[in-house]
Structure 1
Amino acid sequence: MTVATVLRWLFLMSVILLTIGGNVLVCLAVGLSRRLWRTANCFVVSLAVADLLLGVLVLPLSATLELRDSKWPFGGTLCNIYISMDVMLCTCSILTLLAISVNRYLAISSPLSHSQRVTPRRVLLAISFIWLLSLAVAFFPVHLGWNTADYRVQNLDWEFGDEGTDKGRYCQFEWNNNYVLIYAFGTFYLPLMVMCGMYLCIFRVAREQVRRIRATTPSFARSATAAVAREHKATVTLAAVLGAFIICWFPYFSYFTCMGVKEKTNPPNTLHSVVLWLGYLNSTLNPILYPAFNRDFRRAYGELLRCRGSSRRTLQLTHVTLYKRLTFFKLFRVSQNSKKSTAAVMVEREKSLPCEERHCADDSW
C-alpha cells in the first residue's frame, strides 16, 4: 500500500465513523434528554436518521469503490439498489434541511402563533412526505430508465461477480438526458433558493428585534454589548449553516449537471471522487452545525460524552426504588401490627363471652 492509499483510506474511514457517531449522538441526545422533547426537533431527528443510514448503508460501499478503483463485483441489480439508496438518502437530507429552515423562519417571524401552525401532526405529515418523495425520486428513475440516454434501465446485463471495469461499466448514476435538469432543479437548486430566502428573512427579523431591544432598553454599555453579541452570533450561525450546505452540495450538482447536459458517461476520476465525497461530508457536518448551536443540545452532548446523564438517572432510580421499598415495608409492618392487635382484642373478647355464645365444642365427643 502506498502512502496515498493509506491517507485516502484513513480519510474515508474517518468520514464514515464521524458520520455514524455524530448522528447516533443526535438521536441519543433527543431521546434521553427531556429538554429536547420538542416538536421542532423531530426534523433534526429525521435529518440525523437519514445521515445515519447514509453512513451505514451507502458510505462503506462508496469507500469500497474508491479503494478498489471503481470495481463493483456485486452485479447490476445491487448496483442499482445502491445508487437508489444513495440518491434517496441525500435527497431526504437536503429536503429536511429545507424543512428546518422553513420551521426556523416561522418560529422567529411569528413566535406566538408558531405552536398553532407547527403541530405534531403537521410535522409528522411533512416528514412522511419528505421520505416518500425522496423514495420516489430515487427509485423510479433508476428502475424505470428515466435517467439514461436511451431510456433503458441501466446495468440489467451486469452479472454478479463481473467487476465490469474492463467492459466500460461503472456503478454510478447515469445522468444522460434532460431529466438531470429536472432532478437537479427540484432537489437542489430550488431548495437552495428557498433556504437562502428563508435565512435572509431570519437575519432581517433578528436584526429588527435587536433594533427594537436597543430602542426600548436604556442605553447602557452592557445591554448594547449583549445586543451586538446576539446579532453577531445570529450572523455567524446562519453563515455557517448556509455556507456548509453550499460548499458541500453545489460542486456535486454543478458537475453532474454539466455531465448530463453533455450526455457523456465519463468513468469515475479524481474530480468525480472529490465532489461526491464533498457532498457526503455535509452529512458529517450536520450533527455539528445544526444541533450544536443549541444550548440544550450542547448540554445533552456533554452529559452523553461524560456519561453523567445515565449515572444521574441510575442514582435517581435507585433512590426512588429504595424509598418505595422502605415505604412499602413500613406500611406492611403497620398493617401487620394492626392485624395482630385486632386479633388479640377479638380473642380477649371471645374469652369473656359465655360458652353458648362462643360455640364451645361438645364434651361428649
Structure 2
Amino acid sequence: MVTTALRWLFLISVIIITIGGNVLVCLAVGLCRRLWRLSNCFVVSLAVADLLLGLLVLPLSAVVELRNGNWPFGGTLCNVYIALDVLFCTSSILTLLAISVNRYLAISSPLNHSRIVTPRRVALAITSIWAISLAVSFLPIHMGWNTADYRVQNLDWLIGDEDKEGRYCQFEWNNNYILIYVFASFYLPLVLMCGMYLCIFRVAREQVRRIRATTPSFARLAKATIIREHKATVTLAAVLGAFVICWFPYFTFFTCMGMMEKTNPPNIIHSVVLWLGYLNSTLNPILYPAFNRDFRRAYAQLLLCRGPSQRKQSFSNISVHKLLSFIHGIGAPQTTDKQKDPANTEPEEKILPVCQGT
C-alpha cells in the first residue's frame, strides 16, 4: 500500500513539474525582454517538446506503470502513443544539436553570427527538426519497419485485450532497423554535440588568452560580450549533460532488448530507464535558472507578478512620490540633470510592475 502511494506521488509530481516548468520557460522567454534573443527560439522549441511530452505521453505512461505494464486502450492508440513518445524524444535530440551548432557559431564567429543565424534560417531549422521528428516517429511504426516480419504491430489488438499473453505497449525493435534508427537519431547526434562543445571550450580558452593581450579599454567591452556567451554555453552544456545521463541508459537498454527475438514484458529495469529518460524533461526547466541569471530573474518576475489592482497602487505611489518631491523641492535651488541624485529616481523604477513583457 505504501509502495503504491509512493509510486502515485512520484509519477504525479513528475508530470506536474514537467508541465509547469516548461510552461514557465515559454512564458519567461515570451514575456521578459532580456530573453528576447534569436537563440532562445531553440530553447522554446525544446520546452514545447518537453511540455507536449508531459501533456500527451507521461499521463499514459503513468497509467501503464500503475497497471503493471497493462495497456487498456487498444492497439491503435498504443501505436499513436509510441509514435508521440519517439517524436518528442527525437525533437529534443535534434534541437539540442541545433543549439550546440548555434553556440559554436556564437563563440567562434561572434562578428558574423548575426549574418549567419538569421530569423528565417532559425525558423527553417526548427521546422525541419519537427518535420524530421514526425517522419522518424510515425512512419516506421505505421509502416511496419520496426517489427521482425515488417508488419504493423498491434493491428489485431482491441480494447479489452490487454490481459492476453504478450500484449505489451512498447516499440518492437526486432530487426536491423533498430541499428540504423538508434545510430542516426541518438548516437550520431550525441557524438556531434560532444565534439561541438569540445571545440567551443577550446575556442573559449583561446579568446580568454587574446583578451588578456588586448588594450584595457577594448578588453572590458570584449570580455563582457564573451562572458555572456560563455554563460549561455555553460547553461546549454549542463542541459546536454542531463540529456546524456537521462537518455543514454534508455537507448542502451532498449537496443539490447530490441536485438532479442521476442518482446520482453516490462520489468523494473524497463520502468527505471524509461522514467529516467522522462526526468530529462523535468530537469530542463530547473537547469535554466540554475545556470543562467536572466532566467532566474524572469522566473522571479513571473512568480511574483502583481495583479491590476496592485499596478494601480504602484502608479498611485509613483504620483504621490513625485508630488511629495515637488513640494519638498519648492524654494530649493534647481539642479541640472547631471547634478540630480540617481537615488531620487530609483524608487520609481522599483515599484513599476515587474512583469512588463512589452
Residue equivalent to 1:60: 59
What amino acid sits opposite 2:21 in the alignment? G
Give the TM-score, by structure 2 length. Answer: 0.80
Which residue of the partner structure matches residue 296 of structure 1? 294
Task: Quickly say closer, same or farther: Cα 1:236–1:120, change in 2 above 3 A.
Answer: closer
> Offset of 1:288 from its aligned partner?
2.2
Q: Residue type matched to 1:7 in 2?
A: L
Matches within 5 A, 1:114-193: 114-162=113-161, 164-193=162-191
Measure the CA separation in 2 of the matches of 1:247 and 1:168: 31
Tell me, in whole angstroms, the C-alpha distance in 1 between the residues paired with 2:310 and 2:268: 50
Q: Which residue of 2 aligns with 1:76?
A: 75
Structure 1: gaps of 5 or more residues:
219-225, 323-365
Quote the offset at 1:292 in angstroms.
4.7
Choose from 192, 204, 207 the match for 1:194. Answer: 192
TM superposition shift of 1:243: 2.4
Alignment of 1:1-365 (within 5 A): 2-162=1-161, 164-216=162-214, 237=235, 240-290=238-288, 292-307=290-305, 314-315=311-312
Q: Counterpart of 1:166 in structure 2: which amino acid?
A: K
Distance in 1, matches of 2:294 and 2:233, equals: 20
Letter in 2 for 1:278: L
Q: Secondary structure at the match of 1:166?
A: coil
- Structure 2 counterpart of 1:265, which letter? T
Once structures 1 and 2 are overlaid, which stretch shifts more, 229-238 or 69-78?
A: 229-238
CA contact (8 A) 2:96 2:240 kept: no
Would the aligned equivalents of 1:175 and 1:263 in 2 still touch at CA under 8 Å? no
Unaligned runs of 5+ in 2: 217-223, 320-358
Whether the 8 Å CA contact 2:147–2:173 is kept in 1: the answer is yes
Aligned-partner Cα distance in 1 for 2:141–2:126 = 23
Aligned counterparts of 1:293 and 1:311: Cα–Cα separation in 2: 32
The amino acid across from 1:252 in the alignment is: Y
Instruction: Name the CA shift for 1:242/1:161 in 2 (closer, same or farther; >3 Å).
Output: same
Cα deviation for residue 233 of structure 1 reads 6.9
Asked whether the equivalents of residues 288 and 295 of structure 2 are also in contact (C-alpha less than 8 Å), the reply is no
Q: Distance in 1 between matches of 2:308 and 2:99?
A: 33
Taking only the aligned residue pairs, the percentage that are identical comes to 79
Q: Which structure has the bigger radius of gyration?
A: 1
With over 3 angstroms needed to count, the CA separation of the structure-2 counterparts of 1:242 and 1:37, relative to structure 1, is closer
Quote the offset at 1:165 in angstroms: 3.6
TM-score by length of 1: 0.78
Paired residues of 1:184 and 1:257 also in contact (CA < 8 A): yes
Which stretch shows the higher mean deviation, 281-290 or 105-114? 281-290
- Kindly state the Cα deviation for residue 237 of structure 1 after the two structures are TM-superposed: 4.7
Whole-Å Cα distance in 1 between the matches of residues 215 and 114 of structure 2? Answer: 28
Aligned alpha-carbon RMSD (Å): 2.7
Residues 148, 176 of structure 1: 8 Å contact kept: yes
- Secondary structure, aligned partner of 1:133: helix
CA spacing shift, 1:232–1:142, aligned 2, 3 Å: closer
Q: Distance between the aligned counterparts of 2:164 and 2:279, measured in 1?
A: 30
Query: Structure 1's 188 and 312: CA in aligned 2 closer, same or farther, altered over 3 A?
Result: farther
| Whole-angstrom CA distance in 2 between matches of 1:16 and 1:70 | 18
For the 8 Å contact 1:15–1:284, the answer to whether it is kept is: yes
Q: CA deviation at 1:160?
A: 1.7
* Aligned-partner Cα distance in 2 for 1:189–1:213: 36
How far residue 215 of structure 1 moved from its aligned partner, in angstroms, is: 3.5
In the alignment, residue 89 of structure 1 is paired with which amino acid? F
Determine helix, strand or coil for the equivalent of 2:164: helix
Change in CA separation of 1:29 and 1:166 when aligned onto 2, cut-off 3 Å: same
Q: Hey, what's the Cα distance between the residues in 2 that align with 1:295 and 1:79?
A: 42
Deviation of 1:290 after TM superposition, in Å, equals: 4.1
Cα separation, 2, equivalents of 1:32 and 1:209: 33
* Cα distance in 1, alignment partners of residues 239 and 93 from structure 2: 12
Greater length-normalized contact order (CA 8 Å, ≥ 6 residues apart): 2
Separation in structure 2 between the aligned mates of residue 143 and residue 231 of structure 1, nearest angstrom: 43
Say how many residue pairs are matched.
308
Which secondary structure state, in structure 1, belongs to the residue aligned with residue 9 of structure 2?
helix
1:70, CA displacement in angstroms? Answer: 1.2
